Structure 1
């Protein structure tokens, strides 16, 4: 009688029917369930428990758990059921909606396989290696078990194909961070950055998700032959924002303007009456400009070049020549330095070629100091 009742009940089920089952026993390769409203046994093979490969049934379900299931086969005394099909059906419906809306998903990495990562979103999702990060990753082994965010880049329910990208999420976040940073930046701000890349014309500095250019002319108050003489990749630097072009995402920065200028504390470095060595940088009709510190030039007026009258500074000086100078006056506020060569020379030297230059004037060649006339003495 019981057997006949079972056969009648079995005939009331068809492949594709949806049933509710409660897990009665979890075996290694299958799960036995009690089917709600039926005396029949329900069997879920391990292959029908999950869209992903699992080693044992207990990895997917536990005793007492209530499951939504689909009939995939009707046997004489039992129904063969699938949990995977129900999960997949629900998942595809949800995933299609999220794909259309461009939503970001969160899921655990279930496995690392050749060519990428596998995640479980109710259906098997695959993340190609090139779509994991925005940079090259050599070994993905430590990604297993990690929770990552993803965007769906390809979805095909018929082919059971779901391609995901974590890289797309990362790049979108970086772009948002960049736009926000651009809006925050204003000329005149002084901020910390990290040197990312060095070129012949300057250095690119990361200032929080976006790079700005420090042109070679803005690296230092001193002349810079090549940027690597001043900065190196990975170096933390203070920069001043010179300009922000939001449309073209271009930011001009300066390291130089965050540094003490060459004229800072010049009154202490070159007090009135002090003697300094310098290089003649420029000769003009009214005197000579002498660089006494990098970026600091003072004027030796033509009247302070020699005791004797000279028509032009070119008569006794030349550009690039090293000279000794005495500070006559210093004005740090106006960045002006008045210098004298004459005050380091004894007037008698210009009248008697037998005298030697004093020690503090050794930077001069005698003929260059007092002109051609002295060269001809004694001829």
Structure 2
């Protein structure tokens, strides 16, 4: 090779020049490289190998690897180089496009630090704790090495600032899923669900990615004071879709309508002629409504309350009073139950042991008035 040719091939490099180099030796805190077109040795300090903190140089490169580098300093017999700056320049271009396009991309979590996560995207990306999930996360250790979907929420190349969010991706995914579920939900269909949380006015039930409200009036056929009387968080339940408000993203559900009604098989639960104990729930001018089974009220008509003549049921009954009644008729179709208190008085009268003289007990009526009948015939 002539001296002229050698002069052409050997280049003089200045700070900021882009060069190609091959890793020839890896030391603990630096890497030696052979620079194409230069007789000078090239060296990459460990701090210039990656945007992340690394303990040893071998974590970032390996011998024989070809690298794109930037000259950061020119010494007499040495070029100080940076791999990190080349990676960053390339990365910023890609990141700016992703930011402008509001793009979702996957990346591996490289570090767990105080207050969040660190992701290497050619530049150091930070995920604040509040941007990790749509719920509170106490321990970040499970995220080490995990690949997550991210969006860029803040990008400032001049300040070398890159803020990422996984929470936004999660929230947008749930919003899309909710919209799709709302579109396909049909009024009247029966679904399986999980009770998520309880409030004073009802229970929110997850029906596969979206919550619907079971109002307290739709939790049970019986009157209840609070939702926790019949359900608890985590319960698996069946619900019926009452209505879907797609504009306001609200779903009304019912547990009550998936359960057997209190009037179902009433003829078996309260057969004609049976005697039941119940509670007077309401008094009206024409009688008293008595609850004999949960959710089942029957009417004791004023004429069936007592043998005594009464003007209103209030004369002998009061709300909340416990009474015994006899079933006169049970109609499941019309949800009607006819009851009587008077007929129990009849039975009581027939079985009562009146204080008659011992010799009179067991006599027939005709025996007792026989003499009178004889006198009448004379």
Per-residue CA deviations over 1:271-302 (Å, capped at 9, x if unaligned) read: 12211112222333433322111111122233
Match in the other structure for 2:91:
91
Q: Distance in 1 between matches of 2:337 and 2:94?
A: 77
Alpha-carbon contact 2:12-2:38 (below 8 Å) kept: no
State the match for 1:231 in structure 2: 231
Contact 1:306 1:342 in 2 (8 A): yes
Is the CA contact (8 Å cut-off) linking 1:10 and 1:78 kept in structure 2?
no
Instruction: Give, in whole Å, the separation in 1 of the partners of 2:198 and 2:348.
Output: 56
Counterparts of residues 55-66 of structure 1 (less than 5 Å): 55-66=55-66
- CA-based RMSD of the aligned residues comes to 2.8
Task: Tell me the equivalent position of 1:331.
Answer: 331
| Residues 1:292 and 2:302 aligned together | no
- Aligned twin of 2:269: 269
Q: Please identify the structure whose Cα radius of gyration is greater.
A: 2
2:250 matches 1:250: yes
- State how far apart, in whole Å, the 1-side matches of 2:170 and 2:40 are: 51
Matching of residues 62-141 of structure 1 within 5 Å? 62-141=62-141
1:337-364 alpha-carbon deviations (Å, 9 max, x no partner): 22222222238949x9958xxxxxxxxx
CA shift in 2, pair 1:311/1:45, >3 Å: closer
1:15-59 deviations in Å (ceiling 9; x for gaps): 222222222222222222222344443222222211111111110
Quick check: 1:242–1:253 contact (8 Å CA) kept in 2?
yes
Q: Secondary structure at the match of 1:55?
A: coil
Q: 1:60 Cα shift? A: 0.6
TM-score (norm 1): 0.85
Distance apart, 1:199 and its partner CA: 2.0
What is the rounded CA distance, in whole Å, between the counterparts of 1:305 and 1:283 in structure 2?
A: 12
What is the deviation of 1:138? Answer: 2.2
Does the aligned pair in 2 maintain the 1:307–1:347 contact within 8 Å? Answer: no
Cα distance in 2, alignment partners of residues 90 and 201 from structure 1: 56
Distance 1:6 1:43 in 2: 23
Give the superposition deviation at 1:307: 4.0
Structure 2, unpaired ranges of 5+: 356-378
Equivalent residues, number: 354
Q: Hey, what's the Cα distance between the residues in 2 that align with 1:290 and 1:14? A: 100
Alignment check: 8 A CA contact 2:10 2:37 kept? no
Contact 1:71 1:79 survives alignment (8 Å)? yes
TM-score (norm 2): 0.85
C-alpha separation between the residues in 2 aligned to 1:161 and 1:187? 50
Q: How far 1:10 moved relative to its partner?
A: 6.5
Q: 1:59 to 1:348 in 2, by over 3 A?
A: closer
Aligned to 1:203: 203
Contact 1:10 1:76 in 2 (8 A): no
Cα deviation, 1:214-262, whole Å, max 9, x if unaligned, reads 2111111111112222222222222211111121222221111111111
- Secondary structure, aligned partner of 2:13: coil
- Distance in 2, matches of 1:156 and 1:3, equals 49
- The alpha-carbon deviation at position 63 of structure 1 amounts to 1.2
Tell me which residue corresponds to 2:144: 144
Give the distance between the partners of 1:239 and 1:110, measured in 2 at CA. Answer: 44
Which deviates the most, 186-195 or 86-95? 186-195
In the other structure, the counterpart of 2:364 is none
Contact 1:46-1:56 at 8 Å conserved across structures:
yes
Query: What secondary structure, in the 3-state scheme, does the structure 2 residue paired with 1:319 have?
Result: coil
3-state SS, counterpart of residue 217 of structure 2: helix
Conserved in 2, the CA contact under 8 Å of 1:7 and 1:77?
no
Pairs within 5 Å for 1:179-198: 179-198=179-198
Structure 1: gaps spanning 5 or more residues: 356-379
